[in-house]
């Protein structure tokens, strides 16, 4: 029994493996609906448990408020980070002047949008927790009291 390796066999193997990789990556990505749902879950937790308990539960390494590449971030209206699902070192810091790689002051813009719109989507760039590379991101936020509760997806 001999196996004849041909270019066609090789090309088919490459196409199949690329297809499976694409499916895996797509399954690891949260959707816009996931982000809206996660923000609602975060607001419900704040209402039910109180701010302190909910913020602790939302902050890494706790995984209660994460889904694939989606996690929650909460800011007060001065830009202070109150909870962060990927980086607990950000909690308690004033992030108002934080800029994305293009120089966009996304926290400042986020706070302004929360004050003027209440619910919104915001585009900026941020490090993707799955690939560890900077990617375009869309953040969904809702103003709740004196905070903005946000969850983002990578495009």
Report how far residue 113's alpha carbon sits from residue 65's, in angstroms, rounded to the nearest whole number.
23
Q: What confidence tier does 28 reach under pLDDT thresholds 50, 70, 90?
A: confident
Residue 45: per-residue pLDDT: 98
Cβ neighbour number for residue 91 with a 10 Å cutoff? 18
Distance of CA 94 to the CA centre of its chain: 19
Tell which residue, 73, 68, 82, has the closest CA to residue 32.
68
- Reply yes or no on domain 31-154 having CATH 3.30.450.20: yes
**pTM for this one?**
0.81
Residue 2: per-residue pLDDT: 47
Name which of 5-9, 38-42, 56-60, 120-124 the model is least confident about.
5-9
For the segment 35-50, the average pLDDT, to the nearest whole number, is 98
Decide if pLDDT at 19 tops 50.
Answer: no
Give the start-to-end residue ranges of the domains of the chain. Answer: 31-154
């Amino acid at each position: 029994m001999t196996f004849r390796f041909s270019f066609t066999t090789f090309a088919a193997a490459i196409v199949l493996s690329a297809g499976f990789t694409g499916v895996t990556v797509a399954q690891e990505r949260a959707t816009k609906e996931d982000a809206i749902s996660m923000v609602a879950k975060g607001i419900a937790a704040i209402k039910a448990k109180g701010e302190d308990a909910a913020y602790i539960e939302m902050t890494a390494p706790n995984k209660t408020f994460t889904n694939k590449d989606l996690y929650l971030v909460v800011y007060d209206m001065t830009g202070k980070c109150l909870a962060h699902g990927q980086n607990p070192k950000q909690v308690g810091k004033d992030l108002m002047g934080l800029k994305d790689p293009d120089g966009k002051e996304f926290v400042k813009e986020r706070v302004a949008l929360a004050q003027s719109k209440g619910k919104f989507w915001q585009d900026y760039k941020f490090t993707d927790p799955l690939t560890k590379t900077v990617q375009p991101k869309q953040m969904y936020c809702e103003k709740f009291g004196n905070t903005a509760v946000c969850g983002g997806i990578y495009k």
